[in-house]
Amino acid sequence: MQYLPILQHPDSRLRVKATTVESFDEKLANQADKMLATMYNANGIGLAGTQVDFHRRLIVVDVSESRDGPITLVNPEILLIGETVSSEEGCLSIPGVHDTVKRSDRINISAKSIDGSTLEMEAEGMLAICVQHECDHLDGILFIDHLSSLKRKRINEKLKRAPES
């Protein structure tokens, strides 16, 4: 399996808003397989199409410890139903940067499976956080956008000085 290159901040393609998937074909299934392989290879718990220069609304997630619980969501929509919690996030498109982000600890997800069937699920904890992070990517939003402008400025300055350190 060939891994997909992951776009790195500040690449402007990370700011593109992904469009709705209309065709549930073999090409889409292959793209999801490649994204899962790329996510596992990078030791990530999620990956959005946007991060691999695929600007359709497709995300993959696996928050299981055993790394055998892949979830593929097409055209995901989320409804925040939980309490706001602060948790540490990282991003495969911003290596070496971690910070605390406030998000809902419980969400309802409406999406399509890779075969186009309807999928409804409730998620909590790390899965809920990760799906929100990935859905942000589909809208061109990075987790650092949720930080104060001062923190973001410091992160961007650090990345300019020594990317990936």
By beta-carbon proximity to ligand K1U, the closer residue of 47 and 71 is: 47
Taking CB under 6 A as the rule, which mask of x and - marks residues 55-94 in contact with ligand K1U? ---------------------------------xxxxxx-
Q: Tell me how far, at minimum, the Cβ of 150 lies from Zn ion, in Å.
A: 21
47 contacts ligand K1U (rule: CB under 6 A): yes
Q: Is 134 a catalytic residue?
A: yes
- Cβ-contact 87, 143 below 8 angstroms: no
Q: Are strands 99-104 and 58-61 parallel, antiparallel or unpaired?
A: unpaired
45 contacts ligand K1U (rule: CB under 6 A): yes
User: Residue 14 has which token pair?
Assistant: 């990370």
Q: Which of 2, 12, 20, 43 binds ligand K1U (CB under 6 A)?
A: 43
Stretch that binds ligand K1U, among 15-23, 77-85, 126-134, 154-162 (CB under 6 A): 126-134
Q: 26, 77, 83, 134: which is the annotated catalytic residue?
A: 134
Backbone φ and ψ for 119, nearest 5 degrees, come out as -130, 125
CA distance 73 to 55: 14
User: Comparing C-alpha atoms, which of 3, 14, 4, 36 is closest to residue 94?
Assistant: 14
- Cβ-contact 7, 51 below 8 angstroms: yes
CA distance 29 to 103: 30
DSSP 58-74: EEEE---TTS---EEEE
Q: Which of 21, 52, 60, 129 binds ligand K1U (CB under 6 A)?
A: 129
35-94 binders of Zn ion (CB under 5 A) = 91
Binding footprint of Zn ion on the chain (CB under 5 A) = 91
Q: Show which residues are catalytic.
A: 134
Binding footprint of ligand K1U on the chain (CB under 6 A) = 43-48, 88-93, 129-130, 133-134, 137
